[in-house]
Amino acid sequence: MKNQYASSIPYTRRRHRVVSAILAGLLPLMSGFAQDTFDWNERVQRAWESVTAMRMSEAMAWNAAEKSDHPHNLAPLLVDSYADLLRLYFAERRSDYPRFRDDLSSRLDRIEASDDKGPFLRFSQGLLHFHGALAAIRFDDKWNAALEVRRAYTHFKDNHHRHPQFGPNNVYFGVLTSMLGAVPNGFQWILNLFGFRGDIRIGNRMLLDHIEGRTQQPGICRSEALILYPYLVSVLEGDPDKAIRFIERGGLDQVRNHLHAFMAMNIHINNQRSEAALRILDGIDMSPAYLHIPFWDFERGHIYLNLFRLKEAKSAYTRFVNGFTGDYYVRDAYEKLSWIALLENDPKQAAEMRAMVLQRGTDVSDADRSATGNARSGQWPHPLLLKARLLSDGGLQARAWETLLSADPRSFRSRADQTEYSYRLGRTLDLLGRKDEALRHYTRTIEQGKGMREYFAARAALQSGRIHEEQRNCEKAATCYQQCLEMTGHEYKNSIDQKAKAGLQRCKG
């Protein structure tokens, strides 16, 4: 008897796979026995490199030509997925996310129906799940993010076992291996449950081997390795100087490759080198051939603010919040605009910008979450401490030190300001190379700031660990890193904990 409700049954992914498998079996009969396979030829490589450079129209032209001439080549599916991910990541239109996941599923179905037995099969599956994880993280889709990371790791691990010298796979398996090596202790049970194994040094070595041509297919995904490796070195190895030396060796195209420039610029910004970051930003080819992203305005605002060029920072941040339709870093940008107004002695404008923190954006990023907490607290940063912070973050340590010395410590009435003053003294001395003096102020910061929402005590413990590690006193460094991990309820906990866990692993290794 015919099921009268059959037409209302949802078209699930399982049914989709069944139909795909049937079609895959019929296609050889319908097209002269042609079968889907992977051919990473020169045209695919050019399309892939164009995506990495963010020249999307150029990339899609190469990819369309390849699909037209070789419709059974599966490699263009990876190019399409990569391009869709970057568009979604930087434009951040939430309405596009469901379609991205649907397209991801369809591409996976076609790849899984292939009879190709080479290293590209599992690499492609892992890569698409990796793309899915990044998109899910961007939109705070925690469940799918966890599932996609697990699937990506499983495919990359299996492929590495079968094809240990296949370089493109090692790039992404290496990234996950390094990142999992920095997962805080409280989440280790999850890694054990899924059979994950993390190790920062092993993961980073995989990327470096590919960059230096010690793998098979060294030209494929080399640009991605060049982007990812400095981040891993700076954050997980805790060696920003090594990352900067790598960037300055000259292997990156910081003019015509926007992702290369974006990475290099952020490494400089995060390591008190705002002038170097500005030189990169000013030199980027911003012609219409490239995907337009409002984040360039956000980056420019960040650089100018750290250089204490307040009017230029205000203009850049204003362009960003007016031109960006997504949520990431919007609250952070409005907080920065409120700071600028505070420093310009405009309390009305400062209050208006702080109110916008609670009206737009989300709390997905640590920076946005901190902005929200500050806005809800009703507390404002002390203008002198804020100025010292910005100057120090911009690399202007002498001016930051002069600013701190001009203060009367008795003028800081709140416990938060007193703790921040100790931290700023320590951080500035640290960056000036006066490590022993810095340690004394960090110790005072930890004593003053335990249990506070502000991040000063946790960051002081982290920086103390780094100083002891530089001095090759791993026992003291490990104690500081563990102390940092044990602090709870403070701002930027995720990012600070990741750095502390990486430091602890280095000390124990």
What is 82-143 written as a DSSP string? HHHHHHHHHH--GGGHHHHHHHHHHHHHHHHT----SHHHHHHHHHHHHHHHHHHHHTT-HH
pLDDT value of residue 29: 45
Does residue 14 form part of some domain?
no
Among 138, 163, 188, the domain boundary falls at 163
Tokens standing for 193?
């449950």
pLDDT value of residue 440: 97
Does residue 192 form part of some domain?
no
Strand, coil or helix: 477: helix
pLDDT value of residue 106: 97
CA 292, chain centre distance (Å): 19
313 burial class (0-12, 13-18, 19+ CB within 10 angstroms)?
Answer: buried
Does residue 348 form part of some domain?
yes
pLDDT value of residue 402: 97
* Alpha-carbon radius of gyration of the chain: 25
- The CATH number given to whatever domain includes residue 486 is 1.25.40.10
Q: Residues 243, 248, 251, CA angle at the centre, nearest 5°? A: 100
Domain that holds residue 52: 35-163
pLDDT value of residue 91: 84
Spatial CB neighbours of 467, under 8 Å, sequence gap ≥ 6: 430, 435, 438, 439, 442
pLDDT value of residue 12: 47
pLDDT value of residue 2: 39
If residue 13 lies in a helix (H) or strand (E), which one and from where to where? helix 13-30
Among 163, 184, 213, the domain boundary falls at 163
For the chain, what is the domain count? Answer: 2
Tokens standing for 362?
């989300």
CA–CA separation, 126 and 132 (whole Å): 10
Tokens standing for 380?
């404002």
Does residue 359 form part of some domain?
yes
Q: Which residue has the tokens 């929402």?
A: 453
Among 112, 141, 163, the domain boundary falls at 163
Does residue 469 form part of some domain?
yes
pLDDT value of residue 347: 96
Does residue 213 form part of some domain?
no
Strand, coil or helix: 73: strand
pLDDT value of residue 95: 87
Does residue 182 form part of some domain?
no
Walk along the chain (509 residues) and give the pLDDT tens digit of each residue: 434 333 333 334 555 555 555 555 544 444 445 689 999 999 999 999 999 999 999 999 999 999 999 999 999 999 999 999 999 999 888 889 999 999 999 999 999 999 888 999 999 999 999 999 999 999 989 899 989 999 999 999 999 999 999 999 999 999 999 988 876 555 555 566 666 777 899 999 999 999 999 999 999 999 999 999 999 999 999 899 999 999 999 789 999 999 999 999 999 999 999 999 999 999 999 999 999 999 999 999 999 999 999 999 999 999 999 999 889 999 999 999 999 999 999 999 999 999 999 999 999 888 999 999 999 998 999 999 999 999 999 999 999 999 999 999 988 989 999 999 999 999 999 999 999 999 999 999 999 998 999 999 999 999 999 999 999 999 999 999 999 999 999 988 988 998 998 898 898 87
